[in-house]
Chain A
Amino acid sequence: SYVLTQPPSVSVAPGKTAGITCEGNNIGTQSVHWYQQKPGQAPVLVVYDDSDRPSGIPERFSGSNSGITATLTISRVEAGDEADYFCQVWDESSDHVVFGGGTRLTVL
């Protein structure tokens, strides 16, 4: 089955840029979606189709995808961005949904 690998944690100072990676075999050929989850809350879609943002999501959130790595980039990080972030793809071969293990973003 298809596997998505994320670093368990990323730390960043306020105002700096955070990059959260998601690795998978030929992930660059797939559409990657990213979700933010704060403690006790349901996940929220922050980036879809590699780099598109839903309405209401700040422009500080952006995404890219190439080769074996997709990246969620958060610019000008704020304390309120502290959360768990999950990448997700649809695996065409199995017609199943796959999530990455999640990355905890800590704002120093």
Chain B
Amino acid sequence: QVQLVQSGAEVKKPGASMKVSCQASGYTFTDYYIHWVRQAPGQGLKWMGWINPKSGATDSPQKFQGRVTMTRDTSISAAYMELSTLTSDDTAVYYCARSSVRFGELQQFDFWGQGTLVAVSS
């Protein structure tokens, strides 16, 4: 069965960086995009970007450009999201999710990781 298993919770200092992993299993890793979505406490879902595991290409909204780095290791079917220069506003649960692409259009997020809580505090 399809599974996305994320790394454990972290506590970070302001100004530090964080890196969350997403281990995929149960499907061909390079056939689906991996997306990163975050949710601040009590807030909604915010899309942070995607990575195409086949090519390594990435894209993210302007809000995160320059601070977010998405990578993958196809040999172990894992994706990573690194966020730099953390502030308290980055305290959130971070999710990975997969989607297919059909005729150049990103499709629905059909499987999600369990989430990783990252707390930024001095």
Residues of A within 8 A of B (CB): 1, 31, 33, 35, 37, 42-45, 48-49, 54, 86, 88, 90, 92, 94-102
Chain B residue total in the interface (Cβ 8 A): 21
Q: What residue in chain B is nearest A33 (Cβ atoms)?
A: B108
13 A-B Cβ contacts within 8 A? A31-B107, A31-B108, A43-B45, A43-B109, A88-B108, A88-B109, A92-B105, A96-B61, A99-B45, A99-B46, A100-B44, A101-B44, A102-B45
Residues of B within 8 A of A (CB): 35, 37, 44-47, 50, 59, 61, 95, 97, 105-110, 112-115
Which of B46, B61, B105, B112 contacts A90 (CB under 8 A)?
B105
Please tell me if the beta carbons of B44 and A42 are within 8 angstroms of each other in the complex.
no
B109: chain A residues within 8 A (beta carbon): 33, 35, 43, 45, 88
